Amino acid sequence: MKNILLVILDGLGDRPNKEFDNMTSLQASFRPNMNHLVSEGLGGILFPITPGIRAGSDTSHLSILGYNPVEVYTGRGPFEAMGLGMDVKPGDIAFRANFATIDENGIVTDRRAGRINSGTDKLASALRMNIDGVDFFVKEGVEHRAALVIRGDNLSDRVTDTDPHDLGRKPEIVKALDNEAAFSASVLNKFLAEAQKILGDHDVNLERIKNGLPPANVLLLRGPGKAPNLQPFHEKYNMKAAAISGIPMISGIAKLAGMDLLKVEGATGSLDSNFKNKFKAASRALKIYDFVLMNIKATDVAGHDGKPIEKKKAIESIDAALSDLDFKPEEAVICITGDHSTPCSVKDHSGDPVPILFNTSGILGNHIRFFDEVSCLKTGLNLRGLDVMPYLLQLSDRAEKYGA
Amino acid sequence: MKNILLVILDGLGDRPNKEFDNMTSLQASFRPNMNHLVSEGLGGILFPITPGIRAGSDTSHLSILGYNPVEVYTGRGPFEAMGLGMDVKPGDIAFRANFATIDENGIVTDRRAGRINSGTDKLASALRMNIDGVDFFVKEGVEHRAALVIRGDNLSDRVTDTDPHDLGRKPEIVKALDNEAAFSASVLNKFLAEAQKILGDHDVNLERIKNGLPPANVLLLRGPGKAPNLQPFHEKYNMKAAAISGIPMISGIAKLAGMDLLKVEGATGSLDSNFKNKFKAASRALKIYDFVLMNIKATDVAGHDGKPIEKKKAIESIDAALSDLDFKPEEAVICITGDHSTPCSVKDHSGDPVPILFNTSGILGNHIRFFDEVSCLKTGLNLRGLDVMPYLLQLSDRAEKYGA
């Protein structure tokens, strides 16, 4: 049996760029290690969900790890909360939240509290409370954005939003969508009333009013979702697993799947991340763990920024860092792919296929010379997200025979 | 956001032909426009349903438009009725029907009424009636073939055939397969009794008897199906849609999906159709509609006739007519494919994959030079019918992100 290293280069896929004479960032990059791995291994394309679907990083990682998002994805609430670095446990209910402004009659006058850009950390921590045995946690995000996680027994996500989505109206009260959600709606309404008092009196807001800025005196909730109870990865695949990820959302998913999270010095989740340290850490981890998931965010950041030259540079740095892997092809299977495309020309995720490579000793390969979208689109290997884990299991001599 | 033109060349796929030194009709054809579109775009293969399934035009068009035929296809009745140009509305029950001959004891002596080839239009219109609030519509087809559509409240397709399928037996009476179908069975039996009287006395049949021909004095029913209640296309995809189709069955499906039907001068649904007018009409339509579906039947006709030279000619005429498209790649996505293969050597539909191409500005392509079955089978793009709409949505910047 071999161990497995699954490297997900976030948003790896690209479309043609004028800067590179209509090549993708990956095609244009100097990537001798990736090219070597694919030419001695197997290359193809991957649709992270199914063809054409514009996957998020959350749904895509779930799918690639073998958790069908159609079955387990419970809406953005829990994943956005994880994305802010919140601890989200199975059964928790999470919401996307806005700090907003209401006037003295309780009417929403600014859904973004003037795009407040400081002090929300203090406001969020002031809202930590326990009501009727339920714990409430708020964490601030960029500007007015935040998330709410509630934890306790008998909670349900079958409740309505409070965000009126328009100005000139009061925030809605939380309503239960079925009988089992009555308790959740009740504690949420108590929390929101209490939160409104705390926010109204908070120094951050008194200061804002003094400066003529709209106070962040109410929390609007939307997109409730229950954190999924994923079958533990080690149970599903009989592999001890760890994750190396610089981005909280992916760390959150790994944690929900019961993986150990490994810290890497200099890993930032951005373009300046220390890729060498990440691959060194992965090599060490492969001596202890059967399965290591690594996410590298830099490629996605450059794609969202619409910067092909940055994306190419990131790929080249990652490729160079691959030299720091120190295991033999007899010891492990390596798979490198993306969770979706983030074309520089789109500055957001697209539904294009991403390239995927597998390399290990003795593999049945297809001898393509280059690892990139176009070369991989010319092979006959055409996988979907849920195919990746079975393929890795069989390459690592870990798959059970289906039948006799 | 871009608009979308989906061109379905009916029965496009072919198998090797001796006439072309074992090339397909498409391979053998002069098709500079299709080759240009694929070489600047993306080419691959499409299994309209799943690999190997011999799709009908009905199930295939449903699948490609994103309506899973496994869920919505309710048997041939409604689609054959649409194929005869009948107006079929959601909830209608439709049957395939035969005009047949019974003797004075009510025994079927000819299931095809001597392959009657004239006068069935008069017989069919004589059977228009309303019984117990249910409307009955009969439309003649080729020779003895016809269809029956019934419309009213509380109708069910859970009823049995009346066609005994053998000679020497009486037509069956309609039986209900469950309690809810009792009313339907009852009105159908009343209709058939009345129809038998009308047919027996009809001038067309008296004339046939005088000429020693078997009278078409009974209607045999089989294959009942309820016309599916398709989610309107504009609601499903948020696109205003129109269809250009020379064949009634496809027009019927487009109408069930709530698309507008556009008339094109000189469009015949056969080999002599005016392809140039169709592409000109499509170009005009794309200024008003977000999505235009075009079906061209000529390729299928040549395939069913087993005439590769005709099929090649049809493809060449269609390719030449593509020059009449007048939109820029920045404005629209074009997809050209088939709904199934109709190999000239088979003279019927096969389960082979059909080639598919996508072209628009900025697309991630795979630089194949030729648009044909074999070139496309060498790429890594391997789609199924239900993947087509998601792929078009993402290429036209219309897809919602699934996740974050």
For chain B, what is the HEC assignment?
CCEEEEEEECCEECCCEHHHCCECHHHHCCCHHHHHHHHCCEEEEEECCCCCCCCCHHHHHHHHCCCCHHHHCCCHHHHHHHHCCCCCCCCCEEEEEEEEEECCCCCEEECCHHHCCCCHHHHHHHCCEEECCEEEEEEECCCCEEEEEEECCCCCCCECCCCCCCCCCCCCCCCECCHHHHHHHHHHHHHHHHHHHHHHHCHHHHHHHHCCCCCCCEEEEEEEEECCCCCCHHHHHCCCEEEEECCHHHHHHHHHCCCEECCCCCCCCCCCCCHHHHHHHHHHHCCCCCEEEEEECHHHHHHHCCCHHHHHHHHHHHHHHHHHCCCCCCCEEEEEECCCECCCCCCCCECCCEEEEEECCCCCCCCCCCCCHHHHHCCCCEEEHHHHHHHHHHHCCCCCEECC
Residue B275 confidence (pLDDT) above 90: yes
Residue A257 confidence (pLDDT) above 90: yes
Which chain A residue has the Cα nearest residue B383?
A: A51
Closest-CA distance of chain B to residue A132, Å: 32
Pairing of strands B93-102, B218-226: antiparallel
pLDDT in tens, B283-320: 999 999 999 999 999 999 999 999 999 999 999 999 99
Residue B74 confidence (pLDDT) above 90: no
Closest-CA distance of chain A to residue B213, Å: 57
Closest-CA distance of chain B to residue A59, Å: 6
What is the residue type of A118? S
Residue A76 confidence (pLDDT) above 90: no
What value does the mean pLDDT take over residues A224-237?
Answer: 95
The pTM of the full predicted model, rounded to 2 decimals, is 0.90
pLDDT at B243 (0 to 100)? 97
pLDDT in tens, A25-64: 999 999 999 999 999 999 999 999 999 999 999 999 999 9
Q: Decide if A353 and B381 are in contact by the 8 Å CB cutoff.
A: yes
Tokens encoding B160: 């049995």
Q: Decide if B394 and A69 are in contact by the 8 Å CB cutoff.
A: no
Which helix (H) or strand (E) covers residue A113, if one does? none
Q: Decide if B390 and A15 are in contact by the 8 Å CB cutoff.
A: no
pLDDT at A99 (0 to 100)? 96
Closest-CA distance of chain B to residue A378, Å: 4
CA distance A4 to A285: 10
Q: Decide if A53 and B402 are in contact by the 8 Å CB cutoff.
A: yes
Residue A176 confidence (pLDDT) above 90: yes
Closest-CA distance of chain B to residue A385, Å: 14
Angle in degrees, CA A13, B328, B6, rounded to 5: 75
Q: Could you give phi then psi for residue B260, rounded to 5 degrees?
A: -80, 140
Q: Decide if B364 and A381 are in contact by the 8 Å CB cutoff.
A: no
Residue A134, beta-bridge partner list: A131
Residue A75 confidence (pLDDT) above 90: no
Of the pLDDT bands very low, low, confident and very high (cuts 50, 70, 90), residue B256 is: very high
Q: Decide if B391 and A351 are in contact by the 8 Å CB cutoff.
A: yes
Which chain A residue has the Cα nearest residue B379?
A: A378
Q: A120 or A85: whose pLDDT is higher?
A: A120
Tokens encoding A4: 């497995």
Residue B383, beta-bridge partner list: B46
Q: Decide if A382 and B378 are in contact by the 8 Å CB cutoff.
A: no
Tokens encoding B334: 């074009």
Q: Decide if A54 and B401 are in contact by the 8 Å CB cutoff.
A: yes
Residue A272 confidence (pLDDT) above 90: no
Q: Which residues of A148-160 are buried (b: 16+ CB within 10 A; e: fewer)?
A: bbbbbeebbbbbb
What value does the mean pLDDT take over residues A125-143?
Answer: 95
CA distance B139 to B236: 32
Of the pLDDT bands very low, low, confident and very high (cuts 50, 70, 90), residue B269 is: confident
Q: Decide if B390 and A69 are in contact by the 8 Å CB cutoff.
A: no
Mutate to test the interface with B, among A21, A378, A384 (most CBs of B within 10 A): A378
Q: Which residues of A touch B360 (CB under 8 A)?
A: none
Closest-CA distance of chain B to residue A92, Å: 18
Q: Decide if B402 and A79 are in contact by the 8 Å CB cutoff.
A: no
- A13 DSSP 8-state letter: B
CA distance A300 to A341: 8
Which chain A residue has the Cα nearest residue B42?
A: A377
Q: What is the mean pLDDT of chain A?
A: 95
pLDDT at B310 (0 to 100)? 97
Q: Decide if B365 and A352 are in contact by the 8 Å CB cutoff.
A: no
Residue B44 confidence (pLDDT) above 90: yes
Residue B387 confidence (pLDDT) above 90: yes
Percent of chain B with pLDDT over 90: 91
Chain B: residues touching A (Cβ < 8 Å):
42, 362-367, 378-383, 387-395, 397, 399-404
Q: Tell me if B78 sits within 8 A of B226, measured CB to CB.
A: yes
Alpha helix locations (H) across A1-119? 25-28, 32-39, 57-64, 69-72, 76-83
Q: Decide if A76 and B367 are in contact by the 8 Å CB cutoff.
A: no
Q: Which residues of A touch B389 (CB under 8 A)?
A: 52
pLDDT in tens, B334-367: 999 999 999 999 999 999 999 999 999 999 999 9
CB count, 10 Å around CB of A276?
A: 17
Mutate to test the interface with A, among B364, B370, B384, B392 (most CBs of A within 10 A): B364
Residue A74 confidence (pLDDT) above 90: no
Q: Decide if B387 and A14 are in contact by the 8 Å CB cutoff.
A: no
pLDDT at A271 (0 to 100)? 86
Mutate to test the interface with B, among A96, A377, A379, A382 (most CBs of B within 10 A): A377
Quote the ipTM score. Answer: 0.89
Closest-CA distance of chain A to residue B398, Å: 10
Q: Could you give phi then psi for residue A346, rounded to 5 degrees?
A: -105, -30
What is the residue type of A325? L
Which chain A residue has the Cα nearest residue B364?
A: A15
Q: Which residues of A touch B390 (CB under 8 A)?
A: 50-53, 351
pLDDT at B353 (0 to 100)? 98
pLDDT at B166 (0 to 100)? 85
Distances (CA, A) of A99 to A195, A215, A226, B27, B54: 11, 9, 22, 62, 57
Of the pLDDT bands very low, low, confident and very high (cuts 50, 70, 90), residue B76 is: confident
What value does the mean pLDDT take over residues A182-186?
Answer: 97
Q: Could you give phi then psi for residue B217, rounded to 5 degrees?
A: -105, 15
Which chain A residue has the Cα nearest residue B368?
A: A378
Which among A59, A80, A345 has the least Cβ separation from residue B402?
A59
Q: Decide if B403 and A56 are in contact by the 8 Å CB cutoff.
A: yes
Helix (H, G, I), strand (E, B) or coil at A398: coil
pLDDT at B267 (0 to 100)? 86
Which chain B residue has the Cα nearest residue A96?
A: B404
Q: Decide if A51 and B403 are in contact by the 8 Å CB cutoff.
A: no
Residue ranges and CATH numbers for the domains of chain B are 3-73+229-395 (3.40.720.10), 79-226 (no CATH)
